[in-house]
Amino acid sequence: MTDLMGRGAGHAPAVRLILASASSARRAVLEAAGLTFEARAVGVDEAEAKRSAAAEGYTAGECALLLAGLKAARVRDPDALVLGCDQLLVCEDRWFDKPPSLAAARETLLALRGRRHVLATAIVAWRGGREVWRHLAEPRLTMRPFSDAFLDAYLAAEGERLLPSVGAYRLEGPGVQLFARIEGEHAAILGLPLLPLLDFLRGHGALLS
């Protein structure tokens, strides 16, 4: 019997897949889609890369693609298909970083309150020491003008679970209550554009077509 990865019982998939990320949200997206993969955390100086990209006039999307490519390139496994991902939040030309504390998370949410922001969500695939595919998704999310009382209750309920999120929210949790409008693929909002990736994997022989 053959599964979705195009392999028979007891056999390895035709293409080994490595996710160059420690993100639990991205792992969950791939696992829910039925993919077999290995996750590897990689080290990239994101702050320096962002500073350089901004100085050179990169857009947030271009910077996200740059960072995703740097992460994929750090995995030294020429026989595997390596996926690097990155996500930048931009609101009114300001780029946001992951909040280091709950106080910083509060400041982020206050800055986004009542405004629309874009999640520049990039994925880059490397194989055999070169880039073979890239994709950029740009979901748009509009926060409602929530009250200070709601914000206080939200921060108390979510706590440090917000800190790994660049926008200080989790759509898979109470964070969905922050929003008036959401445009874009849910998986891309979580950090990985899944539908374009699945289409690429089918064309690359990693999934049954």
Q: Enter the tokens of residue 94.
A: 């300001």
Of the candidates 86, 93, 148, 152, the residue annotated as catalytic is: 86
Terminal-to-terminal C-alpha distance of the chain: 16
Instruction: Extract the tokens encoding 85.
Output: 């991902």
Long-range contacts of 43-46 (CB under 8 A, 24+ apart): 43/74, 44/70, 44/71, 44/74, 46/86
**Residue 79 is among the residues annotated as catalytic for this protein:** no
Q: Which residues contact 42 (CB under 8 A, 6 or more apart)?
A: 20, 21, 71, 74, 75, 84
Q: How far is CA 206 from CA 24, 51, 68, 87, 136, in A?
A: 22, 36, 20, 24, 21
Q: Which residues are catalytic?
A: 86
